[in-house]
Amino acid sequence: MPSTCDSTFSRCTASSEGSCANSVSEPATSFTRSRIDDPAPHTIATAGLLGDTSARDYAYKLQLFNSFAAPELRQAMASLDLKPGMRVLDAGCGTGAALAWLRQAAEPGGLVVGFDLASAHIRAAHACAGAGAAVLQADLMQPPLARGSFDLVWSVNTINHLRSPVEGVRRLATLLRPGGRIALGQSSLVPDMYFAWDARLERVTNEAVRRYYCDRYGLDERALAGIRGLVGLLRRAQLHNVTSHTCMIERVAPLAPADEAYMLEAIFRGSWGERLRPYLDAADFAELARLCDPQHPQFALRRADFHFLQSFTLAVAAIP
Of 18 and 226, the one with more pLDDT: 226
Q: Residue 183: what pLDDT?
A: 98
Q: Residue 130: what pLDDT?
A: 76
Over residues 91-101, the pLDDT tens digits come to 999 999 999 99
Average pLDDT, the chain: 87
Compute the distance between CA of residue 36 and CA of residue 18 in angstroms, rounded to an integer.
19
116 closest CA partner among 96, 100, 98, 97: 96
Per the CB < 8 A criterion, the answer to whether 153 and 316 are in contact is: no
Confidence grade of residue 8 (pLDDT, cut at 50, 70, 90): low
Of 50 and 195, the one with more pLDDT: 195
Q: Could you list the residue range(s) of the whole structural domain that residue 98 is in?
A: 4-318
The predicted model scores a pTM of 0.86
Q: Residue 225: what pLDDT?
A: 81
Q: DSSP characters for the chain?
A: --GGGTTT-S--B------HHHH-PPPPSBTTB--TTBPPPTTSPP-STT---TT-B-HHHHHHHHHHHHHHHHHHHHTT---TT-EEEEET-TTSHHHHHHHHHHTTT-EEEEEES-HHHHHHHHHHH-TTEEEEE--TTS--S-TT-EEEEEEES-GGG-SSHHHHHHHHHTTEEEEEEEEEEEE-SS--B--TT-HHHHHHHHHHHHHHHHHHHT--HHHHTGGGGHHHHHHHTT-EEEEEEEEEEEEESSPPHHHHHIIIIIIIIIIIGGGGGGGS-HHHHHHHHHHT-TTSTT-GGG-TT-EEEEEEEEEEEE--
Over residues 182-237, the pLDDT tens digits come to 999 999 999 999 999 999 999 999 999 999 999 999 998 888 788 899 999 999 99
Confidence check: pLDDT of 57 > 90: yes
230 closest CA partner among 291, 162, 174: 162
Other beta carbons within 10 Å of 91 = 26
Confidence grade of residue 105 (pLDDT, cut at 50, 70, 90): very high
- Mean pLDDT of all residues in 295-307: 97
- Mean pLDDT of all residues in 72-85: 97
Q: Residue 24: what pLDDT?
A: 29
Confidence grade of residue 41 (pLDDT, cut at 50, 70, 90): very low
- Mean pLDDT of all residues in 100-116: 95
Percent of the chain with pLDDT over 70: 85
Q: What is the CATH number of the domain that holds 25?
A: 3.40.50.150
What b/e readout covers 123-157, taking b as 16+ CB neighbours within 10 angstroms? bbbbbbbeebbbbbbbbbeebebeeebbbbbbbbb
Confidence check: pLDDT of 37 > 80: no
- Mean pLDDT of all residues in 49-56: 89
Q: Residue 17: what pLDDT?
A: 34
- Describe the crossing of helices 199-217 and 282-291 by its angle, rounded to 10 degrees: 100
Of the candidate ranges 131-135, 173-177, 194-198, 284-288, the one whose mean pLDDT is the lowest: 131-135
Of 215 and 130, the one with more pLDDT: 215
Confidence check: pLDDT of 11 > 80: no
- Count of structural domains within the chain: 1
